[in-house]
Structure 1
């Protein structure tokens, strides 16, 4: 099954780190301290990874939609990487992420789709 990872495209400004860390802590249960560290790392600081189309797809879809809306409202750009079912994160070159990048709109379309390509 496809997998995604989400990070901020740029380091989150110090003014926003506390709010964003608190949001992610409440939403996904991540530690505020480790999340703040990830947010300050920008693209290399992945704060969320999950497989798509599992038995919990509906729950994950709602969670990801809330996350995307929050970051859009904060005007914090995201880097979203997607790999296929046969791929591994080890294949993703940290210096060349473009082949795996997708937009938030593309992620929303994936969340609306089914694993076999239907909607």
Structure 2
């Protein structure tokens, strides 16, 4: 009786081993490896694109490039908002310029110039 048990057990173990070996061999074919590599590269590139788009958005917001014209106007008369408005300093004092270049633009202190803002946006940037 025990011989029949060991014979059946050996046959079942042999079938399992052969099936596992066939599955491993199929996974290691050049076609399978190439497909896996292509999928990995596609996922990596998608992650890089997503991170680049997110960083670009952060930079655009920090530089004030996406601000609407309505954000620059304070009232129906079309007077500029902020310290360069009617009660603020004269336009020649650094208050006039392209959107995002005036003092205090994008949440930075008023005493920062454009180069300093750029230095803060670029990781690892050094002063000349």
TM range (shorter): under 0.3
Which of the pair is proportionally richer in strand? 1
* Relative contact order, higher structure (CA 8 A, sep 6+): 1
Which of the pair is proportionally richer in helix? 2
